């Protein structure tokens, strides 16, 4: 069973994503990310994250590190810490100019509302067509 870590700054949206993924057969863990955890994010300190360590794919909200533009830094740290883990970056609006689709910092971006179908497709795309 594929393990997914969902990191989202909005708990209600995260709950919807988690529920959709569980119904689709994924094993899912949720985190509010660096801004809501109440403690320093280990990834941003160059350390491994126990939740990310156990996940097969990471689903991050573009605002997970706050509205101050820290998303690029967070993704950079994630890519350095977990270069082989697929990352899906969800964004409610425009694709962030810093998001890369290829190379060492590449992510799979999901723009707009992350409906169940769109989220599942993005995860499958990120994992190279192999999911669940």
At 42 the pLDDT is 86
Task: Tell me the pTM.
Answer: 0.88
Tokens at residue 32, please? 């509010």
70-120 confidence digits (pLDDT tens) = 677 888 888 889 989 999 999 887 777 766 677 766 788 889 888 999 999
25-36 confidence digits (pLDDT tens) = 999 999 887 766
Q: DSSP letters of 2-56?
A: -EEEEE-S-HHHHHHHHHHHHHTT-EEEEE--TTTSSS--TGGGT---HHHHH-S
Query: Between helices 116-126 and 11-23, what is the axis angle to 10°?
Result: 70
Give the Cα separation of 2 and 132 in Å (integer): 5
For 76, residues 6+ apart whose C-beta sits below 8 A from its C-beta are 105
At 38 the pLDDT is 66
Beta bridge partners of 57: 4
51-77 confidence digits (pLDDT tens) = 999 999 999 988 776 555 567 788 888
Q: What separation in angstroms does the CA of 67 have from each of 63, 70, 78, 132?
A: 6, 7, 18, 32
């Amino acid at each position: 069973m594929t393990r997914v870590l969902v990191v989202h700054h909005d708990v209600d949206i995260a709950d919807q994503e988690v529920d959709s993924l569980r119904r689709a057969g994924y094993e899912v863990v949720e985190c509010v990310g660096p801004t809501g955890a109440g403690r320093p994010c280990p990834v941003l300190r160059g350390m491994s994250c126990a939740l990310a360590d156990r996940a097969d794919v990471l689903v991050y909200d573009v605002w997970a590190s706050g509205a101050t533009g820290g998303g690029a830094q967070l993704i950079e740290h994630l890519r350095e810490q977990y270069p082989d883990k697929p990352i899906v970056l969800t964004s409610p609006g425009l694709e962030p100019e810093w998001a890369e689709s290829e190379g060492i910092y590449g992510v799979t971006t999901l723009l707009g509302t992350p409906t169940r179908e769109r989220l599942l497709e993005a995860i499958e795309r990120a994992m190279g067509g192999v999911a669940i």
